[in-house]
Amino acid sequence: AQSVAQPEDQVNVAEGNPLTVKCTYSVSGNPYLFWYVQYPNRGLQFLLKYITGDNLVKGSYGFEAEFNKSQTSFHLKKPSALVSDSALYFCAVRDGSGAGSYQLTFGKGTKLSVIP
Amino acid sequence: DTGVSQNPRHKITKRGQNVTFRCDPISEHNRLYWYRQTLGQGPEFLTYFQNEAQLEKSRLLSDRFSAERPKGSFSTLEIQRTEQGDSAMYLCASSTIQGGSYGYTFGSGTRLTVV
């Protein structure tokens, strides 16, 4: 079984400050990790992924995430938050070992509010 | 159009009625996925297709739910005898044959309200 935990329901940050949205995961095989963003009444937009390689992954809109195997974490970060970053952020995992399912398992989401 | 298209965007139906949603994936994507998202929750996997074959179904997909992808292109999700608990956003996604190593592209979803 695979699972994702996003321990914070909401994160508030001042515009211009760095932001972190936390994610930890559990998967039996190789983790394929994803971050998606969702705006109100919209579908999910892909931000970035970790499949293999460098632990620091850079994605869209200035976001990056750091894969930490020992802590089974994949936290989303941005050096300087914008008001337009305010949205719902989802972390997701799937087993990339080849024996696992192709389904993505999502966390419950973290609402990011960037305060002007 | 290079995105995943879902229709309708919104559907309001009376309890007990049947509803059908359509998803048109990115044309070169072989895999198609259905997810359900309720308020305050992350998307939950329902089922996925590789071409026209339905390869995996979640236990969330009760007997009242059926999905098809008859020619390996668009897909439909039908809910029979709708219940209020079916009210949710139904999301469709597609990916390449590599199984999502390059990310899953999601549509904007169909929001179902059962009254």
pLDDT tens-digit readout, B81-114: 999 999 999 999 998 866 555 678 999 999 999 9
| A57 Cβ neighbours under 8 A, 6+ residues apart | A48, A49, A50, A64, A65, A66, A67
CA atoms within 13 A on the CB side of B73: 2
| A54 Cβ neighbours under 8 A, 6+ residues apart | none
B104–A104 C-beta distance less than 8 A? yes
Compare all CA atoms of chain B with the CA of A111 and give the residue at the minimum distance: B40
Helix (H, G, I), strand (E, B) or coil at A84: helix
Residues of B in contact with A37 (CB under 8 A): none
Calculate the average pLDDT of chain A: 92
CA distances (Å), B16 to each of A28, B62, B86, in order?
A: 40, 15, 11
Q: Tell me what percent of the residues of chain B surpass a pLDDT of 70.
A: 93
The band of B79, judged by pLDDT with boundaries at 50, 70 and 90, is: very high
Averaged pLDDT, A23-35: 93
**Residue B1 pLDDT exceeds 60:** no
Averaged pLDDT, B35-61: 91
pLDDT in the model for residue B101: 57
Query: Minimal CA–CA distance to A103: which of B20, B60, B70?
Result: B60
- B33 part of contact set with chain A, CB < 8 Å: yes
Q: Which amino acid is it at A38? A: Q
Compare all CA atoms of chain B with the CA of A10 and give the residue at the minimum distance: B40
A49–B56 C-beta distance less than 8 A? no
pLDDT in the model for residue A98: 66
pLDDT in the model for residue A29: 85
Find the chain A residues whose C-beta atoms sit closer than 8 A to any C-beta of B.
Answer: 4, 32, 34, 36, 41-46, 49, 51, 90, 92, 94, 96, 101-109
The answer, yes or no, to whether the previous bond of B8 is cis (omega within 30 of 0) is yes
